[in-house]
Chains A and B, each alone.
Chain A
Amino acid sequence: MKSEITQKLGFTLLFFCILIMLFFLGVLVYFVASKGFSVLSWNFLTDIPREGMTAGGIAPAIVGTLYLTLGSIIFSLPLGVACAIYLCEYGPKSYVVNIIRISINNLAGVPSVVFGLFGLAVFVKFFGFGVSMLSGSLTLGMLVLPQIISASQEALLAVPQSYREASFALGATPWQTIKKTTLPAALPGILTGTILSIGRVAGETAPIIFTAATFYMRGFPDSVFSEVMALPYHIYALMTEGTHPEQQTQIAYGCALILLLLVLSVSAIAIIIRQKQRKHYG
């Protein structure tokens, strides 16, 4: 009897926790949507900012964020997957590899502003890329690299050993086994990791403050060496600079809403790809 009551109490508590979570999620979406909705218009999405950020649109920021996200993933996805393959499939199960693994996990915990400073010192100054889309993409790529490596490693470890054995038993080399069996089977998991990274990259502010972002641009970036506007930084700038706080706040919420929608739709695309892959690879 007593155990039943405890159980009921426990489950009720768990349910309550879910409710709290849903409540905050709902409030967040409602808050951003209701405040940002009023400024949304076709013009807002396609025009450049005008009249000292108080009118016009945010098109360069949207495009900038897309470019930065894409750039960072192009850089970090292949590198991250390659590292994971080495660590899981090739690397000797040694002390050194273990240290590398721990270091990567620690890297994931480094605050993003530190990556920003690192990007400033290395990509902007040392390599001389300047404050540019390239520097920003590389910095963001560095930031998500550990996340992609960890996710890819987990995905590779989750591939049943029986697949590898079957492949080896047919006379495949380790390389052929990875290419034809292990990697395709791990792909859905790797994509999940990438989805999470995309969300993070698109929303990061600190790493791009010093490396890529600019408050205002007349048009769109024309090369990888030009500065870009980006949504998260634009929100930050709107809330901290400028001379018309009221209009700017409204626009900032509009930006936030667009950023949310952007991240959600990119994730949705990735989820669809993942589902297709999963169907293929059971």
Chain B
Amino acid sequence: MDNIAAMRVENVNFFYGKKQALRNINMEIYKNQVTAIIGPSGCGKSTFIRLFNRMNDLVPNTKVEGKIYLDNKDILYPKVNVVKLRRKVGMVFQKPNPFPKSIFQNVSYGLEIKSKNKDFIKEQVVKSLKRAALWEEVKDRLYDNALGLSGGQQQRLCIARCLAVEPDVLLFDEPCASLDPHSTRRIEELIQELKEYYTIVIVTHNLQQASRVADYTAFLYLGELIEFGETGRLFTVPEDKRTEQYITGKFG
């Protein structure tokens, strides 16, 4: 498989105050592939994925070192325009967090910031809802409050909301952690469909999920990248002893 790197992580360290959460991470995120980041709780998965859209900027008292390249630009460079960056790198959170607004307004939120063109916004909302496999369920109640949707629908709405601003990269931070198995399967199918258009990074503590959806998997342990490789290979013939122990359930 010929893979083009969409993002390149170089020597990344991350600190919460004096505590180091990520240690010298180097890896590549391939274009139009799904990369899963796995590891036990507290290993730094979420911290890591939140670097890609600079979400950690919101956490006071943190420090980051190293570089992450996206389109040959280092996105960790302090003067990077994070607003622009976040429109390129969308994020879906662990708990579905729709705004307490209508379904339509949720999807149009990111668009209205940039555009005043009503027709374009409407078109984009419909397109995004369709792409997030939610359109059929909500097309008759676009103006109902989004909080009336089920958890799984809310999460797909959050995905649609991301898609509407046309990002290149989609980050999923344990997107199914609070969903039932049925909704989880729908999200996983959706991720498979979406990789045709987007580069996807997903954090999950669910190993089966990683093996189902991801082309590549990275195993993080105590802030270190232990192993990174093709998912099939990593799950069948892990190179590192710790990876093997983790995926066979010896710890985690």
Contact = CB atoms under 8 A, between A and B. Distances in A.
Interface of A: 93, 160, 162-173, 176, 180-181, 185, 280-282
A67 B145 CA distance: 38
Contacts of A93: 60
Interface string B68-97: 000000000000000110110011010101
Contact of A172 (B83, B95, B147): B83
B58 A172 contact: no
Given A180-B109, A281-B100, A282-B145, A171 B83 contact: yes
B161 interface: yes
6 contacts: A166-B98, A166-B158, A169-B91, A171-B110, A172-B113, A173-B83
B113 A282 contact: no
Nearest to A161: B58
Contacts of B147: 282
A282 to B, nearest CB: 4
Interface string B101-123: 00000000110111000000000
A166 B165 CA distance: 13
B4 interface: no
Contacts of B100: 163, 185, 280-282
Nearest to B147: A282
Q: Which 9 A-B pairs have the closest CB atoms?
A: A171-B87, A170-B110, A162-B97, A282-B100, A169-B91, A171-B86, A281-B100, A166-B97, A282-B147
Interface of B: 53, 55, 58, 60, 83-84, 86-87, 90-91, 93, 95, 97-100, 109-110, 112-114, 145, 147, 158, 161-162, 165
Contacts of B60: 93
Contacts of B58: 164-165, 168
A170 B55 contact: no
Contacts of A282: 100, 145, 147
A39 B93 CA distance: 64
Given A160-B97, A166-B99, A172-B83, 14 more contacts: A165-B97, A166-B97, A166-B161, A167-B99, A169-B86, A170-B90, A170-B109, A170-B110, A170-B162, A171-B165, A173-B113, A280-B100, A281-B100, A282-B100
B79 to A, nearest CB: 16
B97 A171 contact: no
Nearest to A278: B100
A188 to B, nearest CB: 11
A236 B183 CA distance: 67
Contacts of B87: 170-171
Contacts of A164: 58
A256 to B, nearest CB: 41
B113 A169 contact: no
Contacts of B161: 166, 170
B129 to A, nearest CB: 15
A181 B99 CA distance: 8
Which of B55, B93, B99, B109 has the most A CB atoms < 10 Å from its CB?
B99
A160 B165 CA distance: 23
Contacts of A163: 97, 99-100
B90 A169 contact: yes
A90 B93 CA distance: 24
Contacts of B158: 166
B207 to A, nearest CB: 26
Contacts of A280: 100, 145
